[in-house]
Amino acid sequence: MTVPPRPDVKTATEQARARGAFTHVLDGTNHPDKLGTLDAIAAALSFPDYFGRNLDALYDCLTDLGWLPTGEHVLIWVASDVLKQADPRAYLAVHSVLSDAQRALAPGGERTDSRTLTVVLAD
């Protein structure tokens, strides 16, 4: 099986904007732990102050996004491998929540809203 290469952040941003999506960049370079990554996601997506800084709260905020404009929101996670190498279990947990939220907001997903979430892992 061949895994396609990850896009660079510039390409991912350009592709998202070309289709009218809002882009949010999460730079994981300086976030080798779960809490730092959660905080960086919260900052990238302008989470409300009530964000609880845990995986359940991450899912709740990701599947709401009511404070953001309607449309597609693309979270571009640069250097996700930093967390993956430092704490593989935390990486899998965060990645799983991001994937679950993306599915929940997709057309036909469990959450119907005028906002969708796309997560892109970029180099």
Q: Percent of the chain at pLDDT above 70?
A: 95
Mean pLDDT, rounded, for 82-102: 97
Per-residue pLDDT, 69: 96
Q: Helix, strand, or coil here: 31?
A: coil
Mean pLDDT, rounded, for 38-53: 97
Backbone angles phi, psi at 33, to 5 degrees: -135, 165
All domains of the chain in start order, with CATH: 9-122 (3.30.370.10)
Per-residue pLDDT, 108: 78
Q: Percent of the chain at pLDDT above 90?
A: 85
Give the distance from CA 59 to its chain's centroid: 10
Is a pLDDT exceeding 70 seen at residue 101? yes
End-to-end CA distance of the chain: 20
